[in-house]
Structure 1
Amino acid sequence: MSLKDQFRFVKQNMKKNKRQMFMTIVATAIGCAFLIVLASVGFGLHKAIIKEMLEGRLVTEIDVNGKENEAGSIDQLTDRHIEYFEALENVKVVTRRQNLQQTPSFTIGEFTASAEAFVTHFPSELKAGFKLSEGRLPEKDNEIIVSHAFSKDLSHKAPDAVAPYHKDGTLKSDFAYKDGVVGKTVDMEVLKINDGQESRAVFPLTIVGVAKKPAKDWLSISNVYISETILQEVEKFTGTPRGNPEKNRAKEKTYDSVKIYTKNAQAVSDILEKLDADSYITYSILHEMKQVNRLFMIIKTGLLFIGTIAIIIASIGIYNTMTMVVTERAPVIGIMKAIGAKPKTIKSIFLLESSYIGFLGAAIGSVVAYGISSLVNFSFPLVFEHVFDETFPEGLLFSYIPWTLTISSMAICFIVTIFSGWRPAQRATKIDVLGAIRREV
């Protein structure tokens, strides 16, 4: 008996028990849909969190925060370390910054803002992707670049009885700076402490460029890029390296922020491994991604396990259905044996029928799961906003069904249904010919 004939025989027999077969297929579809939808929550949240982590950040970026020495303390990085990093294989560029060791105030007319000031190496910054939204790069020692958020932080001093900020922390329009900053002269005021006495100095600077706005608002910080000459003037005034107003530091030129950019994402792991072996203190987004991936792997496995229980419950229905089918078709089985059908053929017919039920259930369940997933992603933000009266997090995907989840769920469903039909199929091969003809099993 060919496979085609077996399949035709199965379809004919299934038509005789439409209602029973329909309910069994529906139960299997529900189990498969439950498995996919349940696991899709883990996949959706995983994808949303990874997307949020990578938004506005580079996978090829490695922060190097110092090097651990033999005494166990952390040494700051110098030009010698920069040269070592640049010589590593697959390193695209190394950026470095020297931070002013205080937060100076910057004044344009009657508007003032506090901002972090640092010296950077612009050739490497440009190669790493630094861009301007307006203006140009500094050409003179007293020319500076400011971040996109700088102008938003400039505020007019409010009277003592007036609050310049709204409850949400935003500056009221009456006190906000509304003009452009490119071409403006800004006074940078720094602090010096000597024997407990404070003194201040003002350095007039000219803004010639504004850095491009970051992709995410939470990355918008007021920064000012000053020249090394201005930093030296600040150091001369304070008498300490980096303008630290309170304590001296080592006079060797060191860097507070060093970033390595690799040529591709695949090189990050190798470079991280080499730097860790050399006792450098490093950080990469891959560190967080590994932890998040490990956590969600556990969550998704748990959800798949719980969903599989639903399919196992549905498989009980398949087992009962196939057992009844074997009982009802005892005469047919007896006749098939009488005309020479082998036990292997009889067994394969019933396994084919149970697997056919499982396949139909899995296919229908997958389609239903995609529909439920789309409905959940559409309706959940609306329900969230109405019930909790809060804005649904932008970009959060509550349910996501990758093709691998669909294939895995269908495979689980298919395998479970085959095992469900295995015992009834075995029983069918042991039916006595004479007893079957007399409709006795």
Structure 2
Amino acid sequence: MRLKDRFSFVGQNIKKNKVRTFMTILATAMGCAFLIVLASIGYGLQQTVVDDTMEQQIVTQIDVHGHEGKDGNYQPLTVSDIEYMESIEGVKAVTRKKNLQQMPVYQIEDYQIEAETVVADFPSELKSGLELHEGRLPKEDNEIVVGYDFANYLHSESDGEAIYDEEGKLKKEYQYKGKLIGKTIKMTVSKGEEAGKEQTQTIPLKIVGMTEKPTREWMEDAKVYISQQVLVEVEAFTGTAKGVIPDSDYEAEDDSNTFDDVKVYAKNLEGVEAISKQLDNANYATYSVVSEMKQINVLFTIAKAGLILVGTIAIVIASIGIYNTMTMAVTERAPDIGIMKAIGANPKTIKQIFLLESSYIGIIGAIIGTIVAYGVSLLVNSGLPLILEMAFDEELPEGLKFSSIPATLVLIAVGICLLVTILSGMRPAKRATKIDVLKAMRREV
């Protein structure tokens, strides 16, 4: 019997029992849709977490927090550590920052702000891919770059009035309205009180640039980035490393040449793991988003496997209906089977016909189930956030995705569905090959 004739035979038999076949296909489709939708929750949440992490951090960035000494304690990083990191193959740049250990007051005209101050190595920052929102990088020692949100907190005198709103943001009427680029701003640092009077020094600086806007809406950058020479001037005034305001408990520490924030940037994503491994072997404490992604992906892989397993149970339940349908088909078509065997049909061919029919049910059910699953996923992603926000009166994180159906999930679901339906039809198909010709002709089966 030709393949075309087999398909024709299957089609004719299905048409004879439309209702029963339809119900079997419907059960299979529901099982397949349930599997896809259930597993899509794991895929959707994983995609949300991964995308959120990738947006918040640079994927080629490796944070280095310190170097483990012979005594087992981690030491601050120095110039020699920076030079070692720069020598590693695949490293694009090594940025290093020092934090001023006090909050200077910055004043421009009648506006002022207390801001976190950082000493940045601008050549390495530029090499790492730093981009400015406005202006340029400093060329002179007295030139500085301010954070994107610096102006939002630069405020005028309040005369005792509340200058911040309920959300903790500066009211517009107190905000600085002018342009910052090219303006001279005064930085006032302190070294504590002496004879009951606070000792301060004012250093004039010129704003030449503004950093790019942070990637996330809730992130803010109101820092001031100064040069090493300005830090030296502050240290000379305070008499302490990194401008620490001395007190009675202060103990002088020689850490003026150590760095508080060191980041290594790989040339590409593939190089991050190798660089991290080399730094770990050299006893550096490191962290990279790639290592976090590995842990996240392992957890979600386990969760997705569990969800797929639970979803498979629904298809297995549907397979009972397929088994019943195929068993009934063998009983009803006994005379046809007897005729085929009488004219010399190979038992293998008869078996293939019934397996083809069960596969047909599985494929149609899988296609319908996949279409339904995509529809449900769309409704979940668009409707569920609104329902949850109304029910709990809380705004969900931006970009949260409850369901995602990648092509791999569809292939897995269709593969499982097809496998289960074929296995369900195996026994009835095998039974069809063992039907006695004479009994079949007399309809005694």
Q: What interval of TM-score do these two structures reach, taking the shorter chain for normalisation?
A: over 0.9
Which aligned pairs between 1:127-206 and structure 2 lie closer than 5 A? Answer: 127-160=127-160, 162-193=161-192, 199-206=199-206
Give me the TM-score of the superposition, normalised by structure 2: 0.94
2:183 corresponds to which letter in structure 1?
Answer: K
Task: Name which of 373, 377, 381 aligns with 2:381.
Answer: 377
1:194: how far off?
A: 7.2
1:56: how far off?
A: 4.5
Task: Name which of 416, 420, 426 aligns with 2:420.
Answer: 416
Answer yes or no: is the 8 Å Cα contact 2:214–2:221 preserved in 1.
Answer: no
Matched, 1:68 2:68: yes
- Alpha-carbon displacement from aligned partner over 1:1-37 (angstroms, at most 9, x marks no partner): 2222212111111111111111111111111111111
In the alignment, what sits opposite 1:320?
324
- Alpha-carbon displacement from aligned partner over 1:68-115 (angstroms, at most 9, x marks no partner): 111111111111111111111111111111211222222223322222
In the alignment, what sits opposite 2:23?
23
1:343: how far off?
A: 1.9
Give the Cα–Cα distance (whole angstroms) in 1 for the partners of residues 268 and 76 of structure 2.
27
2:209 corresponds to which letter in structure 1?
Answer: G
Which aligned pairs between 1:77-96 and structure 2 lie closer than 5 A? Answer: 77-96=77-96
| 1:260 match: secondary structure | strand
1:157: how far off?
A: 3.5
Matched, 1:407 2:411: yes
Give the Cα–Cα distance (whole angstroms) in 2 for the partners of residues 217 and 59 of structure 1.
19
1:192: how far off?
A: 1.8
Give the Cα–Cα distance (whole angstroms) in 2 for the partners of residues 165 and 323 of structure 1.
77
Answer yes or no: is the 8 Å Cα contact 2:242–2:256 preserved in 1.
Answer: no
- Alpha-carbon displacement from aligned partner over 1:185-229 (angstroms, at most 9, x marks no partner): 222222324799753322222212111212213332211111111
1:393: how far off?
A: 2.5
Q: Which runs of 5+ in 2 are unaligned?
A: none
| Closer, same or farther: CA 317–196 of 1 in aligned 2, 3 Å | farther
- Of 219-228 and 387-396, more deviation after overlay is shown by 387-396
1:173 corresponds to which letter in structure 2?
Answer: K
Matched, 1:266 2:254: no
Q: Which runs of 5+ in 1 are unaligned?
A: none
| Closer, same or farther: CA 431–111 of 1 in aligned 2, 3 Å | same
Matched, 1:302 2:306: yes
In the alignment, what sits opposite 2:233?
233
Matched, 1:242 2:246: no
1:371: how far off?
A: 1.7
Give me the TM-score of the superposition, normalised by structure 1: 0.95
In the alignment, what sits opposite 2:258?
254
In the alignment, what sits opposite 1:331?
335
1:54: how far off?
A: 0.8
- Alpha-carbon displacement from aligned partner over 1:332-386 (angstroms, at most 9, x marks no partner): 1122222222221111111111011001100111111112212222223333343
Matched, 1:280 2:284: yes
- Of 98-107 and 406-415, more deviation after overlay is shown by 98-107
- Alpha-carbon displacement from aligned partner over 1:114-161 (angstroms, at most 9, x marks no partner): 22212211111112111222222223222211011111111234343x
Give the Cα–Cα distance (whole angstroms) in 1 for the partners of residues 315 and 262 of structure 2.
53
Give the Cα–Cα distance (whole angstroms) in 2 for the partners of residues 196 and 340 of structure 1.
117
Give the Cα–Cα distance (whole angstroms) in 2 for the partners of residues 351 and 83 of structure 1.
68
In the alignment, what sits opposite 1:214?
214
- Of 203-212 and 302-311, more deviation after overlay is shown by 203-212
In the alignment, what sits opposite 2:124?
124
Which aligned pairs between 1:90-109 and structure 2 lie closer than 5 A? Answer: 90-109=90-109
Give the Cα–Cα distance (whole angstroms) in 2 for the partners of residues 385 and 67 of structure 1.
46
Give the Cα–Cα distance (whole angstroms) in 1 for the partners of residues 288 and 335 of structure 2.
70
2:326 corresponds to which letter in structure 1?
Answer: M
Give the Cα–Cα distance (whole angstroms) in 2 for the partners of residues 316 and 108 of structure 1.
79
Identity of matched residues, %? 55
| 1:190 match: secondary structure | strand
